Amino acid sequence: MDLKASMKIAAAGLRVQGGRMRVIAENLANANSTAKTPGGEPYRRKIPTFTQQFNRELGLKTVSLGRIKYDQSDFGKRYEPGHPAADTKGFIQIPNVNALIEGMDMREAQRSYEANLNVISATRRMLARTLDILRA
């Protein structure tokens, strides 16, 4: 019975999903930012990646947050002729962040975070119950 290992694996999942939520929050915070000069690029959406990492102490692979990549999809356009970053036709580039997609990603990360938290809680209860049995 290796309950310590299950807690460490779940803790690695918590760290990864926490990092994922930070990236999503940054995307949402910058969803309406624009470039300051004509032809400049606005905020580009970031995408977190995950990697496997071998944990020598546990003797198995755990998940970790990998490199943060940039979404290479096209920027949107909005007609705003008075903006300092407007082109000759009056359009500005807006970030390639879709709040709906970010919201769905945040919900998925939140559920994964909660699942890992439930694993830790259940493991702690099992350890406490085992200690109670051994004391009796």
| 52 Cβ contact list (under 8 Å, min separation 6) | 61, 62, 63, 64
pTM, rounded to two decimals: 0.85
How much is the pLDDT for 13?
94
Domain assignment present for 90 = no
How much is the pLDDT for 69?
97
Integer Cα distance of 87 and 84 in angstroms:
9
Q: What's the mean pLDDT in 25-32? A: 96
Q: What SS3 state is found at 93?
A: strand
Domain assignment present for 21 = yes
Q: What SS3 state is found at 12?
A: helix
Q: What are the φ and ψ backbone dihedral angles of 91, each rounded to 5 degrees?
A: -100, 145
Domain assignment present for 119 = yes
How much is the pLDDT for 5?
86
Domain assignment present for 61 = yes
Domain assignment present for 87 = no
Question: Distance of CA 107 to CAs 28, 33, 34, 113, Å?
Answer: 13, 23, 26, 10
At residue 36, does pLDDT exceed 90? no
Domain span including residue 25: 3-36+43-72+99-135
At residue 25, does pLDDT exceed 60? yes
Count structural domains, the chain: 1
